[in-house]
Amino acid sequence: MDPIRIAIVGIGKIARDQHVPAIRGNSAFSLAATVSPHDAGLDGVPHHASLDDLLAQGPAVDAIALCTPPQVRYDLATQALTKGVHLFLEKPPGATLAEVEALKVQADKVGVSLFAAWHSRFAAGVAPARAWLAERKIEKVSIVWREDVRVWHPGQAWIWQPGGLGVFDPGINALSIVTHILPRPFFLKDATLVLPENRAAPIAADLSFRDTAGAAIHMDLDWRQTGPQSWDIVVDTDAGALKLAHGGAVLTLPSGTEHGEDVEYAGLYARFATLIRGGRSDVDTSPLRLVADAFLRGTRQTTQAFHD
């Protein structure tokens, strides 16, 4: 079977650090081209300054991974879908829920695969955590997701603009895990969003959720943490506590601790290949919906200006 010819649109840090190695490590794919108006691309790989140029001039591609900021993703996605190209959407899958729903409809009409890629769901501890929790009574959940924005998003102005999500850019990773591992749906009850006086998106947030059986879920997000970073989820159950640490890579159960390898993007591309070969899509918007609810219902507080 011939490999799936894929192009990466948007050659930033996440594309270079994660997408390129994952594609090159998966024999189901061949990296056919890259697209970016601001980057020279990769040695030995055809490069174009725009998606228009790629689609008009080639090389031919079967799939595209969109790694651009979410605010500009919809037009690029529709352009690719119009050409019958399978589509991988980096998280978040779009700047709004409505545009993602529109892409789902278009992908179905064209008959191509659309994949909203929540990479944290493929962390090593997530699948066994989901299986263990399926048979437990959930009592409460604590999520602490604190990191240093200067380390992970240096100089990325788009992330502070409307649609860039601010601290919810990493926070949505936690929500992608929790919506996947908890056995019941949950919804927002209250939120406080802390916005720097010179930014349009929050630098911190405190959120309270409740699942449909009444279990409390608390989430603490902050982008001002220095030193060790915190990406932890603790689920208290009737059988003891489950903890996911290091973004889901380390799972601790009452019976002990399991450490996993960094397999997130390898898992994403394995899933994308399966979807394409099977003629299916996977577009779960539940993490983005919870973020949208936080902006819809949250109380806003202003804090001092933030500068990189």
Residues 3-36 as b/e (b if ≥16 CB within 10 A, e otherwise) read: ebbbbbbbbbebbeebbbebbeebebbebbbbbb
Q: Where in the chain is the domain with CATH 3.40.50.720?
A: 4-116
Over its C-alpha atoms, the chain yields an Rg (Å, rounded) of 19
Residues 65, 102: Cα–Cα separation, whole Å: 18
Whether the CB-CB separation of 122 and 268 falls below 8 Å is answered with yes
Catalytically active residues, by annotation: 91
Residues 78, 244: Cα–Cα separation, whole Å: 37
Q: Where in the chain is the domain with CATH 3.30.360.10?
A: 123-260+292-303
Q: Which tens digit of pLDDT belongs to each residue from 95-116?
A: 999 999 999 999 999 999 999 9
Whether the CB-CB separation of 111 and 157 falls below 8 Å is answered with no
- Amino acid 53: pLDDT: 95
pLDDT-derived band of residue 252, with 50, 70 and 90 as boundaries? very high
Calculate mean pLDDT across residues 156-166: 93
Residues 108, 92: Cα–Cα separation, whole Å: 20
- Amino acid 277: pLDDT: 97
Calculate mean pLDDT across residues 10-37: 95
Whether the CB-CB separation of 202 and 195 falls below 8 Å is answered with yes
Q: Which CATH architecture has domain 4-116?
A: 3-Layer(aba) Sandwich (3.40)
> What CATH homologous superfamily does 123-260+292-303 map to?
Dihydrodipicolinate Reductase; domain 2 (3.30.360.10)
pLDDT-derived band of residue 13, with 50, 70 and 90 as boundaries? confident
Strand ranges across the sheet with 114-116: 47-48, 29-35, 4-9, 63-66, 86-89, 114-116
